[in-house]
Amino acid sequence: MIVTGTWEILARSQGLIEKETAMTLEDGRYVIGRPEYYRPLPHLGMALERIGLDPDGDYSPSKENLQKIMLAHIMTVPYETLDSCDYMRKVDFAPEYLFEKFVLNRRGGYCYEINGFLQAILEGLGYECYPLSGRLLFGQTVFSPMGHRTTVVKIDGRRYLCDVGYGAGCAEGPVDIDDPGIQDVLGYRFSIRHHDGAQFGDITLVKHADDGTESDFYCVYLHPHTLLEFISSNERAQLSDRRVVRLRTETGSIVVDGTKFRRKVGKEVFEEEITSYPQFYKILTQEFNMIVPRWSFSDTWPREMAFDEAECRKEAMR
């Protein structure tokens, strides 16, 4: 049984929540309106293969295994905004949708989707975890809307902040929420700052640079959220004004930022201008290993107006 705040999921049938699934509050009984968000992934083994792990391996709950899963995820699943920027498709994060998008089409997504996929994998492996909501800061002092999803994983009484939802640059392993010191996470240093739980949440993830400076990455509220609480904020997410595809690699990272494609190898950065959709399609399929349909793009680069998906299908069949 997964406990999310005062909510408790009561009805599970072999791990699959059916339509009239009940949830309780302290003063009554309620029914989940969107049970599809609580179903498990259709095939856990295929999800593990998608992130480069042996589906028959032992990934039982431990900090070491959690680190292994997170790094594998970051190295294989890109952060990307193609659905909202180029495809003009509605973004969803129900596990069945994520399985089709991430596993079958080898795509990525933004934080609600990517951290949702991680949580679904971890739950399938027996980890105790729940989502949190927060505000992105990136070293700035601008007060931004609640627009980030991350995950807390509990192992042996310890709480770990786990986030694979930014592609590159975030902590690439679990950060112990209750450790007061600076923690080394695969060569990068992070710490957790606790505060009063007001508008900046309960904790802030702080990134420490080699020169001694520090920057606030994001702040989150520690009270557990139900998945339903992310639906409305997901529908309000404003991502369509910026095209981003970002993936961590063994030597650095590869990034599409607007009309630029950048490859970082160590401290060197190589950049090329994207001038056409055929070129963009080649980058997505060969560099990021995605499965994307050609008809999803317009003939003009960059996109100047939204293309109707049904019309694109008709055009592709002519």
- The domain ranges of the chain are 1-39, 41-232, 238-317
pLDDT (0 to 100) of residue 170: 81
- 13 DSSP 8-state letter: B
What is the per-residue pLDDT for 260?
96
| pLDDT of the residue at 31 | 52
* Dihedral (CA of 74, 75, 76, 78) sign: positive
Domains 41-232 and 238-317 share a fold: no
pLDDT in the model for residue 256: 96
Catalytic center residues: 111, 148, 163
pLDDT per residue rounded down to tens, the chain (318 residues): 233 322 233 223 333 333 334 444 444 455 556 778 888 999 999 999 999 999 999 999 999 999 999 999 999 999 999 888 887 777 888 999 999 999 999 999 999 999 999 999 999 999 999 999 888 887 666 667 777 899 999 999 999 999 998 766 789 999 999 999 999 999 899 999 998 777 778 999 999 999 989 989 889 999 888 777 777 565 545 555 689 999 999 999 999 999 999 999 999 999 999 998 889 999 999 999 999 877 656 556 665 433 344 443 443 344
Order of strands, edge to edge, in the sheet holding 28-31? 3-4, 7-9, 22-25, 28-31
The pLDDT of residue 109 is 93
- Could you write out the DSSP letters of every residue in 200-262? T-SEEEEEE-TTS-EEEEEEE--S---TTHHHHHHHT---TT--EEEEE-SSEEEEEETTEEE
The pLDDT value recorded for residue 313 is: 40
How many whole angstroms separate alpha carbon 118 and alpha carbon 126? 13
In this prediction, residue 5 carries a pLDDT of 27
Q: What is the pTM of this model?
A: 0.83
Report pLDDT for 280: 92
What is the number of alpha carbons within 13 Å of residue 273 lying toward its C-beta? 3
What are the tokens at 43? Answer: 């095939």
3-state SS of the chain: helix, strand, coil percent to 5?
25, 30, 45
**CA–CA gap between residue 200 and residue 210 (Å, rounded):** 26
CATH architecture of 41-232: 2-Layer Sandwich (3.30)
Q: Looking at the domain that runs over 238-317, which CATH code has it been given? A: 3.30.1120
**Considering only CA atoms, which of 178, 147, 76 is closest in space to residue 117?**
76
